A and B are shown apart, each in its own frame.
Chain A
Amino acid sequence: MNILVCISKSPDTTSKIAFTDGNSKFDESGVQYIVNPYDEWYALVRALELKETLGGSVTIITVGGSSDEAVIRKALAIGADEAVRIDADPKDAYYTAIQIAEYAKSANFDLILTGKETINYNGSQVAGMIAEALSLPFVSLATKLDFSGSCFQLEREIVGGIEVVEVSGPVVVSCAKGMAEQRIPNMRGIMAARTKPLQIITAAGIEGQTLFVTYDLPPAKSACKMISPDNMDELVGLLHNEAKVI
C-alpha cells in the first residue's frame, strides 16, 4: 500500500502569539515549530502501522520553505520512508491543496492522509480540497482506519455520533483523535532520517483564493470576580443579572 501523508508545521502550543508589520504578519521570532499534532500523532502513525502490516511505503509531503525541513526530518525520524517538499509559501488552503493534488496526480497513492486541522489556522480545509481536485471520495474526521479484503473500513465523527463506513481506494482521509497513539522517535530513527530521500519540487503557478489581511488579539479579561463557596445564590444572581447567561 502506498500512502501519502500531508504534514504541516504549527507553532509549539506554548508559543507567544504576536503580530508584526501593522498586525498583518505572524511574529515568528522565538517561535518553535512542531509537526502539527494531528498530522504526526494520528495520520503519520496510522500510515506507518498500515505499512507495517500490509507492506508498501509512506511518503510525507509538505508545502513550505526550506526552514520547514526540521519538521520534515522529525516525521522521517518517526518512520516515513521518503519526503517531498513543494517549495512555496503555503498562501492559503486552496493553494496548498492544489499543489499537493498536482503532485499526487503524478504518483499512484492508494491512500492520502491529512490531519483533522492545523492548530494555527484551524481551517479543516486542505483535505476536502485535495479530494475534489482529484475527484476522489473523502472520509473526514476519521477516528479508525483499517484495510481488509479490497477496501478500507473507517469510523468517522458525524454530527452527534459515529458513522462506520467502507470505501475502496484511492481515498482521502482526514485523521482525528483515536486513530493511533503518539510515537516518540528513537535514536536510530533520528540517525536514519538524515539520509532518507527528500525531494524538492517547484511549485505550480496558481493563485490563492483567500488572504489573512490583519490580526488582532482578544481584549484582556477583566479581573475574575471571586465568590464565596458558601454563597452560590450570589453566583446564580450574577450569572442571571450581570452576565445574562442564565
Chain B
Amino acid sequence: MTVLVYFKANLGLSKVATEIVTYAKKIGEQVIVLTNGEADANTLAQYGNYGASKVLWDADTNTTDNQVLSRLIGSIAEQEGAKTIIFTHDNIAKAVAPRLSVKLRAGLVSGAVDLPNSEGLVKVNVFSGKANGFVKVSTENKIITLLPNSIQPEVTSTNCPVEAIKTDSGESAIKVLTTKKPEGEIPLPEAEIVVSGGRGLKGPENWGIVENLAKALGAATACSRPVADIGWRPHHEHVGQTGVAIRPNLYIAAGISGAIQHLAGVNGSKVLVVINTDPEAPFFKAADYGVIGDVFEVLPRLTEAIEKFKASSN
C-alpha cells in the first residue's frame, strides 16, 4: 500500500514532518512525501531516513491556499495510486484535508493521536480532551491528520531521492497582502515543553520569570485566557478550550487556577507541573507534580535548578 505524506516545505528538517513520515511508514509499505515551496533538496532527502521512498518537490507552487493545494495533492495522490494521505494537524491541514475529503471521497480523521488499532480504528481526542473516540473510516480512500507529539520519529532507513516536479494547480482566488510572523519563537503547538502563566503573575511586567524559565528549558510560553483578554500577553499564547489546544511532553502552569476550560486545552500533556499558592487550586487534581508556593520565588529557583542541571549534564 502506498501512503502519501504532505507537508509545506520548510528550510530545516521539521519535527512534525518526521513524525508523519514515521507514522505513514508504520501503516504502509511505500511512503511518498509531497511538499511544495522553498526548500533545500539535501534536507528533503533526509526524510528517507524516516521511511520515505521518495520526495516529490514542487518548488514553484509556493502557496498556502487550500484550493490550490487540494488540487496539487489530489492529483499526485491519484497519479501515485495513494489511497491514504497523512498530514500533521496544523493550520494548513485543517483547511486542505476537508477539501480533499470531498474531492477524493476520502473519509477524514482529524487530530489522530495514535496509529490505527488492530480493528483499523483511529483514536482522537473528543470533548476537549475529556474523552477519546475511536473512528472508523468507511471509504476506501482515507485521510488522517496527526496531532504533533503523538508518535516518536524513528530513523529506519537512509536518504531517499528527491524529484523536482512541475504541476499546474491553477491560480489562487485569495490574494495574500502581507504575512506577519513573530520572529524566532517556537510555535506553541509544536513545542515539547511549555511554560504557562496565569493571573497569579499579577501583571505583564512580571513575565520575565516565565520567559527565563522557558529559555532555560528551550520551551515555548503560553497563558490563560484572562491574561490574553486583558492584554498582558498576545492572543496566540492563550491555551484552553477557546484558545489553542496543546499536548507537549511537559506543561508547567504558574499561577493558573486550573479551570475546566483551561484544562481542556492542556490535559493532553504527558506531564503537568503546577505551581500555585493555593493548596485548594483545582489544577493540583490534574497535576503530576505540584508545588505549593509563590511563583515569584519558585520560578526563579526552578530556573536556577534547571540551569544547574543542564550545565552538569553537558
**Interface set of A (CB-CB < 8 Å, partner B):** 11, 13-14, 17, 19, 37-38, 93-94, 97-98, 119-129, 131-133, 137-141, 143, 153, 157-168, 171, 177-178, 207-218, 221, 224-230, 232-233, 235-236, 238-240, 243, 245-246
Contact = CB atoms under 8 A, between A and B. Distances in A.
Contacts of B135: 210-213
8 contacts: A125-B108, A131-B66, A137-B173, A161-B180, A217-B130, A221-B288, A224-B287, A233-B308
B271 interface: yes
B67 A159 contact: no
Contacts of B308: 233, 236
B233 interface: no
A153 B126 CA distance: 33
B289 A227 contact: yes
A226 B292 contact: yes
Contacts, number: 264
Interface size class of B (residues with CB under 8 A): 35 or more
A232 B110 contact: no
Contact of B235 (A178, A218, A246): A178
Interface in B241-282: 241-243, 245, 249-250, 260-261, 264, 267, 270-271, 273-274
Interface in B151-186: 172-182, 185
Contacts of B260: 13-14
Nearest to B313: A240
Given A119-B128, A121-B126, A245 B174 contact: no
A224 B284 contact: yes
B8 A140 contact: no
A131 B294 CA distance: 50
Contacts of A137: 65, 67, 172-174
Contacts of A171: 173
A121 B91 CA distance: 17
